[in-house]
Amino acid sequence: MSVSATSELHVTEAEKILNIESGWKTLTGTTNFHEITTSDKPSYKLAFDILVDRVCQFVGGCFVQLEEEFVR
């Protein structure tokens, strides 16, 4: 996105897009986490699997960092 395009997009609108209209809603059409976790719909399962993958990557990264600190 060019600088001129972003000057027309207000921060609050950008925050709304990032926080409400992307992520879960883009993948599933809803932001209702309970609905996502209890449904058998393939798009809901994919969204949940992506969440689990990201959490595992984050925790794994923290573990590696801690392991490096203790090895030194």
Domain layout of the chain by residue ranges: 3-71
Confidence of residue 71 (pLDDT cuts 50, 70, 90): confident
HSE value, Cβ hemisphere, 13 Å, CA-based, for 34:
0
Residues 6+ apart with CB under 8 A from 33: 24
What pLDDT score was predicted for residue 12? 84
Q: Name residue, tokens 């798009």.
A: 43
- pLDDT tens, position by position, 5-52: 566 667 788 888 887 778 888 889 998 999 999 999 999 999 999 999
Tell me the residue type at 27. L
What pLDDT score was predicted for residue 72? 67
What pLDDT score was predicted for residue 9? 64
- What's the mean pLDDT in 66-70? 82
What pLDDT score was predicted for residue 13? 83
| Helical H segments across the chain, by residue range | 3-7, 11-19, 24-28, 33-38, 42-71
The region, left, alpha or beta by phi > 0 then psi within -120 to 50, assigned to residue 12 is alpha
